[in-house]
Amino acid sequence: MREQLEAIRNRAMAQLGDDASAEQIENVRVAVLGRGGELTAIMRGMREVPAEERPAIGQLVNEIKRELESRIEALQERQQRARMERALAEQRLDVTLPGTRIGRGRSHPLTQVAEEMIGLFEAMGFEAVATQDIDDDFHNFSALNFPPDHPAREMQDTFFLPGGLLLRTHTSNGQIHVMQRRQPPLAVICPGNCYRRDELSVRASPMFSQIEGFMVDRTGIVTMAHLKGVLSEFLRGLFGAATRVRFRASFFPFTEPSAEVDISCVLCGGGGCRVCKHSGWVEILGSGMIHPNVLRAVGYDPAEYQGFAFGVGIERTALLKLGVDDMRLFFENDLRFLEQF
Amino acid sequence: MKLPLSWLKEFVQITADPDEISHRLSVAGLEVENIERHRPAFAGVTVGRVLSVERHPNADRLSLCEVDAGQFGRFRVVCGAPNVRPGMVAPFARVGARLGGARKSGEAPVSLDEVAPLQAAEIRGVRSEGMLCSGRELGLSEDHSGILALESDAPLGTDLAQYLELDETVFDIAITPNRGDCLSTVGLAREVAALFGLKLKLPKIKPPAVSDGECPDIEIHAADLCRRYAGLPMGGIRIANSPAWLRRRLELCGMRALNNVVDVTNYVMLELGQPLHAFDLDKIQGGKVVVRRAGDERRFVTLDNQERELRPDDLLIADAVRPLAIAGVMGGLDSEVSDTTTRILLESAYFEPMTIARTARRLGLRSEASYRFERGIDRQGQVTAISRAAALIRQLAGGHELAPVRDVEPEAALRREIDLDLRRVGALLGVDVPRAEIRRRLISIGAAVHTTGKERLGVIAPSFRPDLNEAADLAEEVGRLRGFEEVPERLPQRPAQIITRDPARAFVARTRDTMLGCGLTEIRTIAFVAPEDNRRFPGLDGGSPVVVTNPLSTELSQLRTSLIPGLLGVLRFNLNRQATAMHAFEIAKVFHSTSDTPSEGQRLAAISYGDFIVTSVGAPPIAAGFFTVKGILEAYFVSLGIFDQITFAGIDTARAPYLHPGMAAEVRLAGKMIGVLGELHPQEALRFELSRNCGLFELDFGALADYRHPPRAIEAPPRFPAVRRDLALVLDRDVPAATVIGTVKNVQEPLLESVEIFDVYTGEGIAPDKKSVALSLRYRHKERTLTDEEVNRAHEALVGRVLPLLNATMRQ
């Protein structure tokens, strides 16, 4: 019995040489270790072995079994490694070829700039409210202290619509709508599109966008000093902490006092260049303390309430921020322009 | 408004340099847009007097002149000008002078650096030591017919550039509509004086000579439109050219010189801001001037010889018989001052701003006068201005007053006193301004101020500042004169408080993110379109387009009803620039009109053209088409969590005639139509010259945003496995996939978890009017693993019910 086992072992080991093929290995496994294999048969015939030899034979069978199994495993592992190495040697990509392109769109530069601006105001506690593009004379002009036929109306050439309506010339109509609906304290911005009768050109567009903002509270709470604080903070947030801000007296029918706001030139930093027409300053927005007539128009008592308001053009801000000099780029939608954002 | 520095200096002794003046004016609300620096086109030219004129011995057309050039001495000069006369005062170029004037008519002056200095020369045997100059040689005018005659009292030997004030700085100032008072040299001088703390010297006005002649009667029949009318008749007028200094100032201010009388009226307007008009007195009939509405008068010929159509409310200046002028806008051809005029009537009036604005705008006649009336002139400045003009006309046109000024003012102007609570100034500006400073500042702009209480001032605004009506206006004056840089920066003190966020804005942001993630680029188009665009691309709302009353052009005469034409326009634009694909979206407003009332809606629209997904090199790309855009929409609805409430259905082609009728669908949310998608109609593709398929969709974004999304129920993932059974059905070719799915789901087999179509087959082995649809069904029980028998039972029962409902058979 012992000899028979040794013979099985020797034969099998001989067949499991280093160059044994996968098929040979499998044949050996089936012939020796398989269900109907030689070792299995011997284990099954163990009853016929004298009882005193059984432990030793059993041990030997297990020993041979383990030896063959580990030999097979080693051979298979070696072969698998060889196959993998062959494959690795063959499988070579030109990693410099382009990948499968899953498109990713770009948001419009005006969206990006507007969102940044809105975000800054929201961070300062302003609430963004959407208002309408089509409006009436009252909300776009009269309530904002533009009397009929007043020359100030000509600063903003209006598109008129049937039914006595018009396309808003500024987002300031939002001020009126919100104040009519709510009571102070208010801190609101109204972003949106506006329309003026200008041909599309380097500097103008018949449709453009603005952010109107205003803050109203009891007399003495929201002053011109707060207007300066909020707008300076906003402009430094948008254009960088080193930006200098200048308030110049001006005129808007709906504010009194009125101020235009300049920032130190984004290109030259104030030294003087083409962008700032060598003045060192560029105009960025209009602002002021809400005119008492505007407060009256929405039913607030100007002796009780006061506040500030401002309007900032998104296109103009975007031109300055992005360092481009042609308004048409925003509305032509040339992909070669848009894909840079 | 142009402001020559030399003129400013007549009224305020300012020594600051022009850049400083410009800066101070600009930050105080008078924005200097440009500083023009004028330099003469010559050097070394002085004022000289021709003492004698003799014939040149060797030339008939030349003269020999003796010229007295003051401290420079006397010179002998050869002159070819026909107008040279003894006693004449003229520009004299000494040897060494440089003349940069044009050599020929129509040419531009030359830079002085390129001009050789004048040399003494032999002219036909006689030595000439200098030259008498024409206007053209000095670059002062086009005139080369003779030498330039200067005024006889011009000081000899004076540098001509200095004498004519040619070294000049002119500020170009943008005047805001509220500051009509600054449309005058004196008004600006007042600002400069107030800003620099200097004294304002008003022009000295010589009182008119006493006379007791006749003045036409003045009748104001429209006292609501004409508050005051002053008239002054003058005689003995000799119409001629104005002196050089006056012409020069008008030209620096952008006006053309005409003749001494008209020039004086313009000069006084530029100086004091009061527009004046001069009528030929001999053409006024019936001895009276009537200020009235046009009424039945329909036509009037203005002095530019144009017939103007009048409206009944236009304000006219008329005599007893006919109109003479459109008040404040333009005079009439019949009554204007001509070369033969000897007697004039000067007019100085206050017209209501609105009436002048309306008439001037309607007639398209914007004059310097109407511009000032519109913005409101000094309510009380009429007599001062007429006296100033009379004094100048006496001086320059030899005239004299025929009668005293006739001044008609139906109702005296109100004295407006503003009750100024000083605390109000601080409350608005956010900085305390001392009482004394407030007083001083207000006085500096011409206000009368008196104390009315402990914290109060009574302020009477000057008559030339109609913009000052209440405390806020005065606070602005104080603030801007001291400078807004004096106002500190402060941040509002507010309690920590969560701001409300507009859910609509968040919804836009979410939508944008999904679109970007699906490979669509955001674009922005302008809301104006051509009527043709709205006709071919009707919007989802169906209403009629909104027509702009005053469009920029026919091409931009309506508001868009749909975003699709804009997207297609952008596609064409990019294809023209060698793009081969474009995948873009826009979220924007559209407009439509229902029963003549315009209203607005919001849309989300997309376009997808060309290769959509570019796979690796050598593998075929996936081109845009119906299913790629549908896939984007599906991804979007999944991201919103409403996919199971969305259905796609066949479309009524009238709804979107621009879509391919066989490749278009309606999008429904909870059964309600919210949009369309499809491929562009081949006819439109042809029009846009598109060679590939173009996928489009447009959704009613407002309806989507307003949709009340059901709250999401979150479940843990199932713990027991699902069992899949496939089913191949043969059914009528035109049964939509959605019907098949719907029918299976309608059986409501409790174990059925999901059903999906994984293949649709037509062709060999299937009858021509049939198709084979392969479905994959998943069965699952929540609480245990299903046995094969259970699944088979459920599946067979389901198939048994579905087959007759779909009129289908099992595929063999």
Do B238 and B355 have their domain in common? yes
Query: What pLDDT digit, counting tens, does each position of B223-259 carry?
Result: 999 999 999 999 999 999 998 889 889 999 999 999 9
Query: What pLDDT digit, counting tens, does each position of B719-754 carry?
Result: 999 999 999 999 999 999 999 999 999 999 999 999
Q: Which domain holds residue A210?
A: 109-338
Q: Are B59 and B124 in contact (CB under 8 A)?
A: yes
Tell me the average pLDDT across B146-172: 89
**Residue numbers in A near B494 (CB within 8 A):** 125, 185, 187
pLDDT value at B185 more than 90 = yes
Cβ contact B520–A103 (<8 Å): yes
pLDDT value at B108 more than 80 = no
Q: Which of B374, B522, B582 is facing A107, going by the closest CB pair?
A: B522
Q: Name which of A267, A249, A243 is nearest A120 in CA terms.
A: A243
Do A219 and A284 have their domain in common? yes
A307 in a structural domain: yes
Using DSSP's 3-state secondary structure scheme, residue B770 falls into strand
Q: What is the CB-side half-sphere exposure of residue A329 using CA atoms within 13 A?
A: 19
Do A294 and A158 have their domain in common? yes
Cβ contact B490–A151 (<8 Å): no
A100 in a structural domain: no
Q: What is the pLDDT of residue B513?
A: 95
A40 in a structural domain: yes
Do B232 and B268 have their domain in common? yes
- Where chain A has pLDDT below 70, the residues are 151-152, 154-156
Query: What pLDDT digit, counting tens, does each position of B498-509 carry?
Result: 888 888 899 999
**Residue numbers in B near A132 (CB within 8 A):** 600
**Which residue in the block uniquely carries the two structure tokens 């609105």?**
B354
Q: Which of B26, B549, B556 is facing A248, going by the closest CB pair?
A: B26
Do B511 and B465 have their domain in common? no
Do B627 and B523 have their domain in common? yes
**C-alpha span between B722 and B246 (Å, rounded):** 101
Tell me the average pLDDT across B620-641: 94
**Residue numbers in A near B475 (CB within 8 A):** 256-257, 289
**C-alpha span between B22 and B722 (Å, rounded):** 83
Q: Distances from the Cα of B740 to the Cαs of B643, B753, B791, in angstroms?
A: 18, 16, 21
Do A142 and A83 have their domain in common? no
Q: What is the pLDDT of residue A152?
A: 63
Do B248 and B322 have their domain in common? yes
Please give, rounded to a whole number of angstroms, the shortest distance from the CA of B2 to a CA of chain A: 18
Do B646 and B659 have their domain in common? yes
Do A134 and A273 have their domain in common? yes
DSSP state of A101: B
> How many domains would you assign to chain B?
6
**C-alpha span between B182 and B270 (Å, rounded):** 10
Do B356 and B471 have their domain in common? no
CATH number at residue B293: 3.50.40.10
A95 in a structural domain: no
Give the residue from B352, B373, B408 where a domain finishes: B408
Query: What pLDDT digit, counting tens, does each position of B3-36 carry?
Result: 999 999 999 999 999 999 999 999 999 999 999 9
B202 in a structural domain: no
Cβ contact A257–B476 (<8 Å): yes
Cβ contact A151–B357 (<8 Å): yes
Cβ contact B616–A161 (<8 Å): no
Q: Name which of A221, A219, A193 is nearest A207 in CA terms.
A: A193
**Residue numbers in B near A258 (CB within 8 A):** 29, 476
CATH number at residue A248: 3.30.930.10
Cβ contact A102–B600 (<8 Å): no
> Strand B131-132 vs strand B226-235: parallel, antiparallel, or unpaired?
unpaired
- Choosing among A113, A218, A256, A263, which should be mutated to test the B contact, i.e. which has the most B CBs within 10 A? A256
Please give, rounded to a whole number of angstroms, the shortest distance from the CA of B34 to a CA of chain A: 10
Do B565 and B600 have their domain in common? yes
Do B437 and B560 have their domain in common? no
Q: What is the pLDDT of residue B112?
A: 78
Cβ contact A257–B480 (<8 Å): yes
Do A79 and A125 have their domain in common? no
Q: Are A233 and B491 in contact (CB under 8 A)?
A: yes
Please give, rounded to a whole number of angstroms, the shortest distance from the CA of A22 to a CA of chain B: 36
Cβ contact A230–B491 (<8 Å): yes
Q: Which domain holds residue B463?
A: 418-485
**Residue numbers in B near A251 (CB within 8 A):** 29, 176-179
B748 in a structural domain: yes
Q: What is the pLDDT of residue B208?
A: 67
Buried b (16+ CB within 10 A) or exposed e, B82-100: eebeeebbbbbbbeebbbb
Tell me the average pLDDT across B657-665: 95
Do B601 and B478 have their domain in common? no
A188 in a structural domain: yes
Amino acid at residue number A218: R
Cβ contact B485–A247 (<8 Å): yes
Do A138 and A228 have their domain in common? yes
Cβ contact B512–A248 (<8 Å): no
Do A209 and A240 have their domain in common? yes
Q: Distances from the Cα of A215 to the Cαs of A118, A180, B489, B620, in angstroms?
A: 15, 14, 15, 58
> How many domains would you assign to chain A?
2
**Residue numbers in B near A247 (CB within 8 A):** 484-485, 487
Largest CA distance in chain B: 140
A236 in a structural domain: yes
Q: Which of A122, A187, A338 is facing B521, going by the closest CB pair?
A: A338
Please give, rounded to a whole number of angstroms, the shortest distance from the CA of A250 to a CA of chain B: 4
Q: In the structure, what pLDDT confidence band is assigned to residue B658 with cuts at 50, 70 and 90?
A: very high
Q: What is the pLDDT of residue A310?
A: 98
